[in-house]
Amino acid sequence: MRFEIGAHDPHSLARVGRLYAAHGVLDTPLFIASATHATIKGLAPEEVAHAGIQMVAVNGYHLWLRPGIELIREAGGVHRFMRWKRPILSDSGGFQVFSLARSRTITGKGVRFQSHIDGSPRFMTPEASIEAQNALGTDIAMIFDECVAYPATREYVEASVELTLQWAKRSKAAHRNPHQHLFGIVQGGAFEDLRRRSAEETVKIGFPGYAFGGLSVGEPRDEMLRVIQATLPYLPADRPRYVMGVGTPADILACVRLGIDVFDCVLPNKNARHGTLFTSEGTLKIKNARFRTDERPLDPSCDCEACSKYTRAYLRHLWIAEEPFGSRLLTLHNLRHYAQFMERVREAVGSGTLSRMHVPEGRAD
């Protein structure tokens, strides 16, 4: 993988870079939008790209179950299937196997479980996960790992680290797509010594990029940042570093300052569908009665369709009436907010002003 690091922030470990993938060049720090089922609900791919999203993430577990990997392979890969022209990352499905599947049984070979869709018996192995991601044709694939819940005992996390390392070796051995980069995943829960072991051994296996798994799963922010800070010295500085499942703009900013390059989270899409919007003044719940006659734009500093054409009063009306158009507009806004936020982060790193950047976390007026 070609990863060029440009400017460094003089007051932190933040850096900007360029990540070269088969379907385009990505500017880092980078936020990846979640397109779990090969779509972002209610939006066309062109709209997502127009919002400034550089890359989306699809989920191998969900696409494996429905519509099936072979169907997508025959369609020419997931880019052609969903008509997205920019880079795509595929998650291995490890998190979903452990969070969604029914009556799972973990063995050294893999995980036996029942589909959360129809209850049918399934067996997922590292080889099956990688074969599916190879067939999807994504730009970046992830190893199959065990994502541990929070909190977890040291004994369980220690065993999980060893299992994930074995699966990492098998994932790499099974990888066959020369146009796709396979990232390793560091596990270890909240235990710094286990994170160090996982990082060191994963680096020995050798991957073009490294991700933190098992974070943003309910632990306090301070604990998440402590784990990242303690583990980063054991990951190569010349490779992209990715925290999976993070998160809010404030969490992203804190992680960027520690030296993280890549993030993904369902939060902007999911929150929009529930009427919670990210703005330059804090979060805003559009259902609140005080917006019933509010003729102001959702966020005056945003240039998305929702903010440039419609008032808070109208957006609230659409939300209360459960109109699909409202959900579409709110999702577009949150995605555009994240894209603009990442643009400002990159600019601040380049200009040496990241230390002055602030993310409002309270309620917007």
Cα 70 from Cα 247, distance rounded (Å):
32
Residue 84 has pLDDT above 80, yes or no: yes
When pLDDT is averaged across residues 325-354 and rounded to a whole number, the result is 98
- Cβ pair 349, 357 in contact under 8 A: no
The pLDDT assigned to 364 comes to 86
Rounded average pLDDT over 85-98: 89
Active-site annotation holds for 264:
yes
Q: How far apart are the first and last CA of the chain?
A: 45
Q: What crossing angle do the helices spanning 192-205 and 221-231 adopt, rounded to 10°?
A: 50
* pLDDT on residue 1: 80
Whether omega before 67 lies within 30 degrees of 0, making that bond cis, reads yes
On the question of pLDDT at 49 being above 70, the answer is yes
Residue range 275-286: mean pLDDT, rounded: 97
Per residue in 237-249, pLDDT (tens digit) is: 999 999 999 999 9
Each residue's pLDDT tens digit, 190-229: 999 999 999 999 999 999 999 999 999 899 999 999 999 9
**pLDDT averaged over the chain?**
96
Options 9, 91, 145, 299, the catalytic residue: 91
Residue 2 to residue 101: CA distance in whole angstroms: 36
Whether 98 has a pLDDT exceeding 80, the answer reads no
**Res 101: pLDDT:** 65
State yes or no: pLDDT of 96 exceeds 90. no
The residue-averaged pLDDT of 47-70 equals: 96
- In three-state secondary structure terms, 224 is helix
Give the integer Cα–Cα distance in Å for 264 and 136.
Answer: 19
Query: Which whole number is the average pLDDT over 23-50?
Result: 98
- Can 222 be counted among the known catalytic residues? no
- Domains of the chain as residue ranges with CATH: 2-265 (3.20.20.105), 267-365 (no CATH)
* The one catalytic residue among 145, 251, 264, 299: 264
Has residue 95 got a pLDDT over 90?
no
Tokens linked to 137 = 């044709």
